[in-house]
Amino acid sequence: MCQLPYIPEGRDILYVKSDHAFMTLAKNVAKQGSLDALHPTGAVLVLDGTPIGAGANGSAFHTRFGCVRKFLGVPTGKGYALCCGCSPKNHAEQKAIQDALKKGHNPAGADLYLWGHWWCCSSCWDAMIKAGIKNVYLPEGAYESFGKK
């Protein structure tokens, strides 16, 4: 198991097989909706066995101008304020929460399935905790699949 760059006290990341139904759904959300061609990421919120929200990472800023953080060599999880495209509001986790709210669903007690990344940044954890997200699931082998080499 790898050392996660950030995890809030009292929280943990859980793992499911990559072919788990909700993880497959998160993968499809990433493939169909991500605006980040290099690192497509998708998140699905599930409450009582029903998907209630979904989101994919990225913004049109990256498509038009590239990533300021990548250009500057900023490490993962740092310097989001340097790049409009990297703003946490453009992260899959936060887009999934906003999607659920927009559809009239309360995300409290929901689980979040995240495909395309191997950890969650502090801004996303803060948003998930505030929204009452119960568990965060990544696919088994996420670090090996999505960690920076």
pLDDT of residue 63: 77
Residues written for the chain: 149
pLDDT of residue 68: 85
pLDDT, tens digit, 9 for 90 and up, residues 98-136: 999 999 999 999 999 999 999 999 999 999 999 999 999
pTM here is 0.91
Amino acid (1-letter code) at residue 35 = L
pLDDT of residue 148: 66
Q: Identify the segments of the chain with pLDDT beneath 50.
A: none
Closest residue by Cα to residue 65 from 83, 89, 90: 83
Distance in Å from the first CA to the final CA of the chain: 15
pLDDT of residue 139: 98
pLDDT of residue 113: 98
What are the residues whose beta carbons fall under 8 Å from the beta carbon of 20, sequence distance 6 or more? 113, 137, 139
Q: Write the DSSP assignment of 44-97 as a string of letters.
A: EEEETTEEEEEEE---HHHHHH--HHHHHTPPTTS-GGG-GGG-GGGSHHHHHH
Q: Calculate the dihedral angle through the C-alpha atoms of 28, 32, 36, 41, rounding to the nearest 10 degrees.
A: -20
